């Protein structure tokens, strides 16, 4: 996944840096909250049930958005798009880890470690001497 951001207009919310639409931000927040409520880890079946609830429009929550503040709202999101646009990017960025043996999804710190590694790569590039380009 490609993360593009404007350093001069960096949002306060990490989800708004990672996802393009408001709806994706809301669904990603709901997923992370659901995982936190289950000690940071849920099984494959639980993830499928979460995605199905979203798909069927059965997930009811209170949003922190100004226009919905304090109101219960039904959230609907296509199951296939959930896996393609929310879960898979979160796995590839290191926000969520999947254990093949236990068949569980867990919240991970790998995203933070990868971002620090990318920053160190840039510092190394800054300190390298310029390349000689033959004309």
Domain range annotation of the chain: 14-127
- The pair of structure tokens assigned to 46 is 């639980």
- pLDDT tens across the length of the chain (135 residues): 788 888 999 999 999 999 999 999 999 999 999 999 999 999 999 999 999 999 999 999 988 877 878 888 999 999 999 999 999 999 999 999 999 999 999 999 999 999 999 999 999 999 998 887 777
Distance CA 96, CA 87 (A): 8
Distance CA 97, CA 99 (A): 7
Distance CA 128, CA 75 (A): 50
Contact by Cβ (8 Å): 75, 59: yes
Contacts of 48 (CB under 8 A, 6+ apart): none
Q: Is the pTM of this model over 0.95?
A: no
Contacts of 86 (CB under 8 A, 6+ apart): 19, 24, 27, 28, 31, 77
């Amino acid at each position: 996944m490609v993360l593009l951001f404007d350093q001069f207009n960096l949002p306060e919310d990490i989800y708004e840096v990672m996802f393009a639409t408001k709806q994706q931000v809301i669904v990603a927040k709901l997923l992370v909250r659901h995982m936190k409520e289950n000690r940071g880890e849920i099984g494959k079946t639980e993830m499928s049930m979460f995605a199905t609830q979203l798909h069927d429009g059965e997930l009811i929550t209170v949003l922190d958005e100004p226009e919905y503040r304090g109101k219960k709202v039904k959230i609907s999101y296509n199951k296939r798009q959930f896996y393609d646009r929310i879960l898979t990017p979160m796995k590839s960025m290191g926000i969520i880890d999947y254990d093949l043996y236990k068949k569980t999804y867990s919240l991970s710190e790998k995203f933070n470690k990868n971002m620090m590694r990318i920053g160190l790569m840039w510092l190394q590039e800054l300190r390298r001497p310029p390349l000689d380009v033959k004309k």
